[in-house]
Amino acid sequence: MEITASQVKELRERTGAGMMECKKALTEAGGNIDAAAEALRKSGLAKADKKADRVAAEGRVSLAQKGDRAVLVEVNSETDFVAKDENFMQFCEAVADVAVGVDDIEALKAAALGGQTVEEARAALIAKVGENVQVRRMVSMRSGNTIAGYVHGGRIGVLVELEGGDAELARGLAMHVAAMNPPHNKASDVPAEFLAKEKEIELAKMSDKDRAKPADILEKIISGKIAKIVNEVTLYGQPYVLDTDRSVEQVLKAAGAEVVRFERLAVGEGIEKVVEDYAAEVMKQAGLA
């Protein structure tokens, strides 16, 4: 049976589901719009698309590890209230478990989860919790080295690959990255452009008297300031949060270990949040503003 564009349009208007979902539902229902609408409601796809444009900047980061593979997945909701909902948290954990077996976020959305795809399960969750839900990002590591994963409060997740050392040290370093958020691993990872800009800034901040000093003295002063900045923006240079008398580099050297890489996800980073001023809105509606 041929499904017409007008049938798809009508079903979309009734349910808010996507065009392809509507066409599929109509095909399976033999063109019966009522039956197709009921099927979409049961699958959770109805009304899911209507919430798709709403900002979802809350949510959770979930961790899963199996064998030599570890993953972090960020799933977003609109409110912190839903982020703490049992159904939402169970979905996040289930999605993370599935993510261990895939390579990227698109493959994750298409992967099987409980007799349906992750994307279909997401749509069903939207119908249940009444908010936009997005499976936004995932990062993964696979290595024969030690991989530690750490999630702080469901909002910040970290993976650390450690060569040498042990699992306890790797977890401590993951906690450090969660707390201190270093942009880079080692001094050699800091971009030359960043260093040049910082040197320019430090020179501009100096007094005419200091800038008039001999070139070799001036270079030592600037080098010292840049070295301090490099320590602040690198994991190796920062004071270790579990032993602030030593730098991370000193802790690693004592353990005969090296951080190969790390990944960090924080809920909602990079998403522009809508700040609601309810008082102003009420005043506006009352004609008082």
Mean pLDDT, rounded, for 40-44: 68
The mean pLDDT value for 108-119 works out to 94
Give the mean pLDDT of the chain.
89
- Look at residue 96 in the predicted model and tell me its pLDDT: 98
The answer to whether 108 touches 138, Cβ cutoff 8 Å, is yes
**pLDDT at 233 (0 to 100):** 96
Who wins on pLDDT, 61 or 2?
61
Distance CA 16, CA 18 (A): 7
Identify which of 6-10, 41-45, 162-166 has the greatest average pLDDT: 162-166
**Whole-number pLDDT of residue 47:** 54
| 220-228 average pLDDT score | 92
On the question of pLDDT at 75 being above 70, the answer is yes
Region 34-56 average pLDDT: 68
Lowest-pLDDT range of 25-39, 99-113, 155-169: 25-39
Terminus-to-terminus CA distance in the chain, angstroms?
Answer: 58
pLDDT above 90 for 151:
yes
> For 165-220, how does the pLDDT look when each residue is reduced to its tens digit (9 = 90+)?
999 999 999 999 999 999 999 999 999 999 999 988 888 888 888 778 888 888 89
- pLDDT of 44: 62
Q: Which residue has the higher pLDDT, 288 or 62?
A: 62
Pair 195, 187: CB distance under 8 Å: no
Q: Which domains does the chain have, with CATH numbers?
A: 5-47 (1.10.8.10), 54-142 (3.30.479.20)
Whether 278 has a pLDDT exceeding 60, the answer reads no
Q: Is the pLDDT of residue 158 over 60?
A: yes
Q: pLDDT confidence of 53, banded at 50, 70, 90?
A: low
* Backbone conformation region of residue 195, classed left if phi is above 0, alpha if psi is from -120 to 50, else beta: alpha
Among 125, 124, 49, 117, which residue's Cα sits nearest to residue 86? 125
Instruction: Assign 3-class secondary structure to the chain.
Output: CCCCHHHHHHHHHHHCCCHHHHHHHHHHCCCCHHHHHHHHHHHCCCCCHHHCCCCCCEEEEEEEEECCEEEEEEEEECCHHHHCCHHHHHHHHHHHHHHCCCCCHHHHHHCEECCEEHHHHHHHHHHHHCCCCEEEEEEEEECCCEEEEEEECCCEEEEEEEECCCHHHHHHHHHHHHHHCCCECCHHHCCHHHHHHHHHHHHHHCCHHHHCCCHHHHHHHHHHHHHHHHHHHECCCCEECCEEEEEHHHHHHHHCCEEEEEEEEECCCCCCCCCCCHHHHHHHHCCCC
What's the whole-model pTM score?
0.76
Q: What 8-state DSSP symbol labels residue 188?
A: G
pLDDT-based confidence at 48, cuts 50/70/90? Answer: low
Two structure tokens written together for 249: 């580099």
pLDDT value for 106:
94
